[in-house]
Amino acid sequence: MSINRRTFLSTAAAVSATLATPMIARAQSMPRVVVVGGGAGGATAAKYIARDSNGAIDVTLIEPTRSYYTCFFSNLYIGGFYEFDDLGHTYGNLASSYGINVVHDWATGVDRDAKTVSLAGGGSVPYDRLVLSPGIDFVEDSVPGWSLAAQGKMPHAYKGGTQAQLLKAQVAAMPEGGTFAMVAPPNPYRCPPGPYERISMVAHMLKNTNPTAKILLVDPKESFSKQGLFEDGWQRHYPGMITRIGPDFGGDIVEVDPDAMTVSIDGVVENVDVCNVIPAQQAGLIAQAADITDGNWAPVSAYDMSSKIDPEIHVLGDSAAQGAMPKSGFSANSQAKVCANAVIAALTDARAFPPRYANTCWSLIETDDGVKVGATYEASDEGIVSTSSFISEVGETPETRAETYRESLGWYDAIVEDMFG
Amino acid sequence: MSVLSRIAAAASVLGALSGPALAEADPERGEALYRPCAACHMIGEGAIHRIGPHLNGIMDRGIGMVEGYRFSEIFEEAAAAGEVWTEMALDGFIANPGGYLPGTAMVFRGIRGADDRADLIAFLIQEGGSSEAPAAAGEDTGPSPEVAAILEFEGDVAYGQFLSSECTACHIGQGGDDIPSIRGLTPTVFIAGMVAYRSGERQHQVMNTLAARLGDEEIAALAAYFLSENH
Ligand SMILES: Cc1cc2nc3c(=O)[nH]c(=O)nc-3n(C[C@H](O)[C@H](O)[C@H](O)COP(=O)(O)OP(=O)(O)OC[C@H]3O[C@@H](n4cnc5c(N)ncnc54)[C@H](O)[C@@H]3O)c2cc1C
């Protein structure tokens, strides 16, 4: 793994150099919480800390984008089941309803001794507790031949925003009978069923517009999330369209050439028309900059999501190494609530309650054919552990599958309200 | 709008159930579809009122006319207007209870498939009889002992608020077409629902898993918090 911190900091700075230096003058008497990253973990944590402390804690949320585009449901957008605009959500209500100080800037560093976060636009923000929920960054060179510079030719579409639009446009422009390739990531990565839901949605799109097209899924993993459910669904809905090349056939020895639009699998070169490269992942770079990572991720206590390296920093969501929970928006949201309760209890005289976590991930395979997997979790000294779980079954009735899909629509509305409402 | 015209409007929108659909309906399949109803209703010999009224003799009976149950205002209006549970009315109500009789105390999102509703109604008739020949009802003894025990607790509102944060990931505050909203439920209905999920009497993968780890104290805390929210 090679992270070049200097490059990261200088690009981040360049992006927001034009922004005015934010004024950071806040009441000194109140305890201060700074949250970095306004996604599934960060927005939820900021809202719950501000709301449930009844104004007794001063909350600052640092997030560079003005609209958060959810990764969840971006596959449904690709499949034509959801509008792109409906994926975007803004921070106005967090500021107006809960008094959160929303700063649109990049956090560039954390001074753990002085307890301050520095901003790309200049200045720094002091904290009593820091919450980091910066999502993921890609591990450089994990797919030889690919780098961020190639994301225009070979999109990842694995962070929120325009990448999903680019990928969809490329699929729409594929020649008749062309080939769509995906290079799937190694474990652990955000949203374990995500790549396979995407394969389903691309297949749905091609089935209607380009039925002789082929899908090549190159996968370094022996097995994957909801595999039985996906493979059953692909068989039923898209027979003959999808070929998966696992590690037994070289799916773990991959190279790409974005200029030539080729994928080489264990030395065999394939020409492809679209190539979706989802690289290996690591904690958002600000977690590396804060020096609270061990390897690719930030280890945390299962009891309150506090960093094992600096207990005054909490790490949520994808960046955290917490144990058994999958890296999902649902998980990040669940962890944020445990963290918020712990932070409020630490900084005020409010009560702390025993931590509890849950997750459910829905995936759409084809119109009205939804599946889900979920579990409840609790804290232990060894990390977060699963207490009970469930998964959809092969052979469920169409009514059940349609009901499951509708549940996912209800969940999307609810979690967005939970984060931003 | 009067209750009558509201019902007529809703029925025409839904393109309701026709006679033949019911004739071909399958009460065996309907029995499986009745599962979610069982959380609130009893039907058949010895049935009594629970959260909802027992459903014996429902077909062709006046809406909200069964003895010994306190119906909501909209049901009382319908009863006063002499409305009757025809196939069409049952179909419309079961499809979307809150849309059909706005303000009903039956907080249930409804059954969307027309064939499913036909099978379910066939089961209601088979099991509970029609108004002419209803199955014999039993004697009401109040909420089940399990629900009564939880009602006894004084719920811890602050703990309930923390616990409720697990629920708001899926249950939206208002509305909620795809997952029912749970804000307006009375404590008895809420507790009976959670107990039914916990025991598996009402089946749903997500809710069974979540309810399984809620003790009586936690369900009481949640009920107290949601109740405090309504005021
Ligand atoms: C295709 C796809 C489908 C998915 N589907 C689902 C699904 O159906 N269900 C589900 O539960 N999950 C799903 N996920 C996973 C989900 O999107 C993530 O797990 C979730 O967003 C993680 O939350 P987070 O808070 O850790 O990070 P994010 O939500 O990514 O938020 C991180 C935020 O931090 C900001 N940030 C990063 N660095 C800095 C910095 N230095 N300074 C300031 N701000 C910074 C970013 O701009 C971003 O807004 C999906 C993911 C993908 C890619």
pLDDT of residue B185: 74
Would residue B52 count as lying in a domain?
Answer: yes
Whether chain B has a CB inside 8 Å of the CB on A320: the answer is: no
> Is pLDDT at A141 greater than 90 in this prediction?
yes
Contact A360 B170 (CB under 8 A): yes
pLDDT of residue B15: 40
pLDDT digits (tens, 9 = 90+) for B219-228: 999 999 998 8
pTM comes to 0.86
Would residue B134 count as lying in a domain?
Answer: no
Q: Residues B19, B88: one domain?
A: yes
pLDDT of residue B2: 45
Ligand 1, CB cutoff 6 Å, lining residues: A 36-42, 62-65, 68, 71-72, 74-75, 106-107, 133-135, 158, 190-191, 194, 198, 284, 286, 316-319, 327-330, 332, 361-362
The structural domains of chain A, with segments of one domain joined by +, span 5-137+281-420, 140-277
Q: What is the CATH number of domain A5-137+281-420?
A: 3.50.50.60
The ipTM estimated for the assembled molecules is 0.89
* Cβ-contact B46, B72 below 8 angstroms: no
Architecture of domain A140-277: 3-Layer(bba) Sandwich (3.50)
Residue of A nearest to B170 (CA): A411
pLDDT digits (tens, 9 = 90+) for A192-206: 999 999 999 999 999
Contact B179 A411 (CB under 8 A): yes
Distance between CA atoms of residues A397 and A408, nearest Å = 17
Which residue has its alpha carbon closest to ligand 1 atom 51?
Answer: A71
> Is pLDDT at A4 greater than 50 in this prediction?
no
Strand ordering across the sheet containing A107-111: A107-111, A116-119, A124-126
* A140-277 matches A5-137+281-420 in CATH topology: yes
User: Total structural domains in chain B?
Assistant: 2
Mean pLDDT, range A287-300, rounded to an integer: 98
Quickly state the pLDDT bin for A186 (edges 50, 70, 90): very high
Interface test with A, best of B108, B159, B170, B225 (most A CBs within 10 A): B170
Last residue in a domain, options B97, B128, B159: B128
pLDDT of residue B103: 87
Asked which of A64-78, A315-329, B36-50, B153-167 is least confident by mean pLDDT, the reply is: B36-50
pLDDT digits (tens, 9 = 90+) for B47-94: 888 878 999 999 999 999 998 888 999 999 999 999 999 999 999 999
Distance A135 CA to ligand 1 centre (A): 5
pLDDT of residue A195: 98
Distance between CA atoms of residues A204 and A216, nearest Å = 15
Would residue B96 count as lying in a domain?
Answer: yes
pLDDT digits (tens, 9 = 90+) for A392-414: 999 999 988 998 999 999 999 99
Would residue B175 count as lying in a domain?
Answer: yes
Strand ordering across the sheet containing A242-245: A242-245, A214-218, A179-183, A274-277
Q: How many CB atoms lie within 10 A of CB B212?
A: 14
Position in ligand 1 atom list of the atom nearest CA A286: 41
Give me the domain span that covers residue B32: 3-128
Quickly state the pLDDT bin for B175 (edges 50, 70, 90): low
> Is pLDDT at B8 greater than 60 in this prediction?
no
From residue A78, alpha-carbon distances to A168, A188, B152 in Å are 5, 24, 51
Interface test with B, best of A97, A229, A337 (most B CBs within 10 A): A337
Cα–Cα nearest to B203, from A414, A403, A229, A413: A403
Distance between CA atoms of residues B96 and B14, nearest Å = 10
DSSP per position, B96-149 = -HHHHSTT-S--------HHHHHHHHHHHHHHH-BSSSPPPB-----S-HHHHH
Would residue B140 count as lying in a domain?
Answer: no
Would residue B189 count as lying in a domain?
Answer: yes
Position in ligand 1 atom list of the atom nearest CA A408: 8
pLDDT of residue B48: 86
Q: How many CB atoms lie within 10 A of CB A113?
A: 5
Would residue B136 count as lying in a domain?
Answer: no
Asked which of A263-277, A348-362, B3-17 is least confident by mean pLDDT, the reply is: B3-17
Which residue has its alpha carbon closest to ligand 1 atom 38?
Answer: A134
Would residue B137 count as lying in a domain?
Answer: no
From residue B129, alpha-carbon distances to A327, B122, B126, B135 in Å are 52, 10, 6, 6
How big is chain A, counted in residues? 421
Residue B12 CB-density burial (10 A; 0-12 exposed, 13-18 middle, 19+ buried): exposed
Q: Residues B105, B161: one domain?
A: no
* Cβ-contact A95, A82 below 8 angstroms: no
Residue A373 CB-density burial (10 A; 0-12 exposed, 13-18 middle, 19+ buried): buried
